[in-house]
Amino acid sequence: MRTLLLAAGVGSRLLPITATTPKCVVMINDRPLLDYWLELLFGAGIERVLINTHWLAGQVHAYVKASHWASRIDLVHENELLGTGGTVFANRQWFEGQPFMLAHADNLSDFDVGELIAAHRTRPPGHLMTMLGFRTDDPRSCGILELDDRGTVVAFHEKVNDPPGNLANGAVYVFEPEVIDAIAAMGRPTVDLSTEIIPRFVGRILCLETNGYHRDIGTPESLHRACAEFGQRPRDRATVREGSI
């Protein structure tokens, strides 16, 4: 399976850090955020990763060039930001007509990649995406989910003042190719997944809740908390499993 890592955002909430450093390579315990993502994905057997760039793209390119995983990473630059759905549509040929994973690279996470893919492969009939869920300590800042007894998302509350719980959208998905058709139907190049596409699939989304760590590092406070909570991880690279998933 292939994965699109969304990494093009300006990161304005993380100023002044992001005035000179792209959010996706902000340091967390002496390692760039992307380092954790690539270790997680390739360590689980993901075949290739596509990273989109925009703000301070040269730094991201330099990081990838020096990466242990460089031969399995593709880069695509957006002169103008396309929105999360727009990026998917613009790179639709890269997915080769197959199911694919998408993740927002401004989160720090250690979810089980293989478990998410396995859940998608055994999803209920008619479901076209599987979403990672996590328990948030700040429900008003997240998209909050309501599930039925099958784990199907039956309601989605995007950053509301009185959220009905704390199970949040982790911004990691496995999509069937039909999701790209829904983006194409919007008829414009700039599309947002969270507000324009995902709500259309309510009732057809499986949610898998992670028991691992998951936090948006988009503000100085959350970045500080992530550094303290996640702890110092070994610097050795994960060993890639034989074959791909």
Summary count for the chain: helices (H), strands (E): 6, 13
The whole-model pTM stands at: 0.91
Q: Give CA torsion, residues 180, 186, 191, 194, to 10 deg.
A: -70
Cα distance between residue 150 and residue 124, in whole Å? 8
Domains and their CATH numbers in the chain: 2-230 (3.90.550.10)
What gap in Å lies between CA 179 and CA 193, rounded to an integer? Answer: 10
Alpha helix positions (H), the chain: 33-43, 57-66, 83-90, 113-121, 178-184, 220-230
Q: What is the pLDDT along the chain (245 residues), one digit of tens a residue?
A: 999 999 999 999 999 999 999 999 999 999 999 999 999 999 999 999 999 999 999 999 999 999 999 999 999 999 999 999 999 999 999 999 999 999 999 999 999 999 999 999 999 999 999 999 999 988 888 889 999 999 999 998 888 888 888 999 999 999 999 999 999 999 999 999 999 999 999 999 999 999 999 999 989 999 999 999 986 444 443 333 445 67
Please report the pLDDT score of residue 210 as a whole number.
Answer: 96
- The pair of three-digit structure tokens given for residue 152, joined into one six-digit string: 């199907």
Q: Do you know the residue count of the chain?
A: 245
State the pLDDT at residue 239. 37
Is 130:176 a contact under the CB 8 Å cutoff? Answer: no
Q: Which residues of 177-211 are buried (b: 16+ CB within 10 A; e: fewer)?
A: eebbebbeebeeebbebbebbbeebeebbbbbbbe
Instruction: Tell me what pLDDT residue 137 has.
Output: 85
What pLDDT shows up at residue 244? 64
Q: Could you tell me the end-to-end alpha-carbon distance of the chain, in angstroms, rounded to an integer? A: 5
Residue 20, both tokens: 């000179």
Q: List the one residue out of 162, 165, 127, 130 whose CA is nearest residue 146.
A: 165
Whether residue 130 contacts residue 205, with contact meaning beta carbons closer than 8 Å, is answered with yes
